[in-house]
Structure 1
């Protein structure tokens, strides 16, 4: 989780990274502001069966499909953080129907009178929804049709047991902060990053944290492979040009004319 948190802060978190790091023991998942898509989120949901708090806010690549799969397949999900960007807000609004409880011809005066088993679907485990820029219409729909879900809850001033809002549902916190509390924030600084400068100022390799080793290894590998990628690109370009000349009659004629012209000049 620490490596995933650092990768997210370094803006390196995508489907490949989160899938490779996902572990069955995870109960929290923070992919906010990342490039994780429906595919990556779906794979993590398959691996992490015990997720109880998830932050997908500002994830513009997560659509209604990923949102729906998360809510309906995470049976332990209690806290969901969403919205935060125009695209994410739009996706959340389109998914309001997922939160609504659905009945199978059950009688009752209110949702609170129903047992959990009487609800066919509708994110029955979800209790806390953090949506920073929720619009008035969406808030009204959730308040009237999804009374079990508290939207943008505030901590109880009395701290009564059973009524306290969990840490994961507070707007002021970042979900994955506890996983990186012992890691130097400079390790995920994006602007002005210089590998040599940072490496010389850090501790010896044996004293580096796991997250720092992961970050340095990634940057070192990317730097090492850059010349090879450039060489491959040039080779592919030349190969494409040769293939085009062989298949294009006019290009082939121009190439032959050029060779003949060179031969005549050499004889002269």
Structure 2
């Protein structure tokens, strides 16, 4: 999770990176402002089924398809952050229908009064929706249909409607801030931009996959250590030969005979 948080801050978080790092123990997922698409979000949702808080704000590559997969796999999702850019706001608007649970054939005026067992699909565990740019009409409509879900809660010493607002539902605090709070920002701060190679060109080293970066690092290290390994091998061989020669007279005679044989062979 630390690697994912640092990668997000360095603008390096994409589908390949997040899928390679995802772990089933994760309860939060902050991919805001990243290049992650529906594919990456769907695969992470399959792996991290215990997610309780997710932030996809400013992710222009995520649509309702990715959010649907998130809701389908993560039944413990309580906090959802979205919006922040035109395309993400559009996705958020279309996702409101996904957050409304679909009902079986039951009697009753509102799904708010139903047990979870009577609700099929939908985000039955969702309680906090953070969408700063939601328009008033949409907010009023959604709040009327889904009073269980609180939109853009405000921090208050008395809580919200008798319920304490969790830190994950406060937009001013990044979900992954606690993960990197003990890490010096100078070690992950990114300055400038990474040039993206054209499709017909070779990939820039900064755009290589994590696996390829590890492979290249291993090859470079192996190349640097090769002379030292060869030297150590020669020293080990000479030491073994000296020890062998001093073991007994017969071993010494055999060694001298082999040396003489090599000398004669070289002269011929």
TM-score normalized with structure 1 length: 0.69
Alignment root-mean-square deviation, CA: 2.3
Partner of 1:115: 115
Say if 2:103 and 2:118, in contact at 8 Å, map to a contact too.
yes
Question: Which residue of the partner structure matches residue 68 of structure 1?
Answer: 68
Structure 1 partner of 2:53: 53
Structure 2 gap segments, 5+ residues each: 194-209, 221-268
Report how far residue 190 of structure 1 moved. Answer: 2.1
CA distance in 1, matches of 2:28, 2:72: 17
Q: CA–CA distance in 2 between the matches of 1:21 and 1:113?
A: 39
Deviations 1:35-80 (A, max 9, x none): 0111111111111111000111011111111011112221010000
Contact 2:22 2:47 in 1 (8 A): yes
Q: Note if contact 1:101-1:123 (Cα within 8 Å) is conserved in structure 2.
A: yes
State the distance in 2 between where 1:175 and 1:51 align: 12
Given the alignment of the two structures, is residue 88 of structure 1 paired with residue 88 of structure 2, yes or no? yes
Measured in 1, the distance between the counterparts of 2:87 and 2:40 equals 18
Higher gyration radius (CA): 2
| 1:16 counterpart residue number | 16
Contact 2:112–2:146 (8 Å) recurs in 1: no
Unaligned runs of 5+ in 1: 194-213, 225-268
What secondary structure is seen at the aligned counterpart in 1 of 2:186?
Answer: helix
**Structure 2 residue aligned with 1:131:** 131
Give 1:192 deviation, angstroms. Answer: 5.4
Cα contact 1:129–1:152 (8 A) shared by 2: yes
Instruction: Check conservation: 1:101, 1:146, Cα contact below 8 A.
Output: no
Question: Do the aligned residues in 1 keep the contact of 2:29 with 2:51 (CA within 8 Å)?
Answer: yes
Q: How far is 1:187 from its partner?
A: 2.3
Following TM superposition, where does structure 1 have runs of at least 4 consecutive aligned residues deviating by more than 4 angstroms? 159-162
The 1:147/1:159 distance shift into structure 2, 3 A limit, reads closer
The verdict on how the C-alpha distance between 1:33 and 1:139 changes in structure 2, with shifts beyond 3 A counting, is same
> How many residues in Structure 1 have an aligned counterpart in Structure 2?
199
1:102 alignment partner in structure 2: 102
